[in-house]
Structure 1
Amino acid sequence: MSQTTDTLSKDNIFEVLSSSRRRYVIYYLYSHEGTAELKELARHIAAWESGAPLESITDEETRRVYISLYQTHLPKLAEFDIVRYDSDARIAELTPRADQLSRYLDTKPAQSLPWPLYYAVLSVISVVLLLGLWFQVPPFDAMNGNTVAFLIAIGVIGITVAHYLYNRQRGGKNMATIESLIE
């Protein structure tokens, strides 16, 4: 029974998130560029569940999780089109629909650069430049209005581009929210 609507209902979302193994699957896929081989996924989940280092996980522990993922959890995630699972290649991949889960996760702030502070500093510098120009305070008296306007525009463009590139590099994902899946 595949879910065909574009938006998941709250009941469906809570059903998906009710299992720690499904949350582990989603977390692992988010933190590994959205795709994983089933055996490697099972190994990592076995390690998380046991609290043991990855290297100490036995084949038996991996197999136990593998079977559970293969028979229960990946089909459930595929049913709601959150994960696409290729049973022949044994590869799981997040779908764009997985992003609908984020609003139901812990939203503690991600560690990020203090962008509001950078914009505030640029605003203060802009005001100082304009006031210095207006009151003809040295060294601002040597500048003209066009130079000040150009410097302010370059500052705004520079911070805006840096902010955009920073967010793009992070993939637009708030990993602190995604990490709440396994806490």
Structure 2
Amino acid sequence: MTSTAHYPSSVANVLGILGNERRVLLLNYLFLFGYEQDIDVRHLARVIGSVENGTSPREVTSQDYESVYNGLIQNHLPKLAKYDIIDYDDRAKIVTVTPRIEEYLILIVVARMID
């Protein structure tokens, strides 16, 4: 779990967080869970892989699953944890949503309205 939060200090940092479609998918899905609920990274990889490939989670190929899983643990989850949007336990591969996710979902909704 993260011990110190680093808050984005500029619009560029916020756009860096939200400028990746996989992270936007991840944020939207994580928002469906309650705060303080643990979510297994393997589950997230299956769901995100299914959305990206237009299949059900059970139909995600092992290659697609591994690609999403590795991207999540190496890049996306640490980045979201750095800004206290989630808590991420790298050893247990568990994600916990924080209330800060709401700030980013508001930005996603506004961006979609002007897009």
Q: Under a length normalisation based on structure 1, what TM-score does the superposition of the two structures give?
A: 0.52
Matched, 1:41 2:44: yes
Instruction: Figure out how many residues of one structure are paired with residues of the other and give that number.
Output: 107
SS of 2:76's equivalent in the other structure is helix
In structure 1, the residue matched to 2:84 is 81
1:71 alignment partner AA = Q
1:97 alignment partner AA = R
Q: More relative contact order in 1 or in 2 (CA 8 Å, sep 6+)?
A: 2
Unaligned runs of 5+ in 1: 108-179
In structure 2, the residue matched to 1:59 is 62
SS of 1:12's equivalent in the other structure is helix
- RMSD between superposed Cα atoms in Å: 2.2
Q: Under a length normalisation based on structure 2, what TM-score does the superposition of the two structures give?
A: 0.79
CA offsets 1:92-139 (integer angstroms, 9 cap, x no match): 1122222221332225xxxxxxxxxxxxxxxxxxxxxxxxxxxxxxxx
CA distance in 1, matches of 2:10, 2:107: 11
Over alpha carbons, which structure has the higher Rg?
A: 1
Aligned identity (percent) is 31
| Equivalent residues of 2:31, 2:101 under 8 A apart | no
More helix by share: 1
Describe the shift of the 1:9–1:3 C-alpha distance in structure 2 as closer, same or farther (beyond 3 A): farther
Unaligned runs of 5+ in 2: none
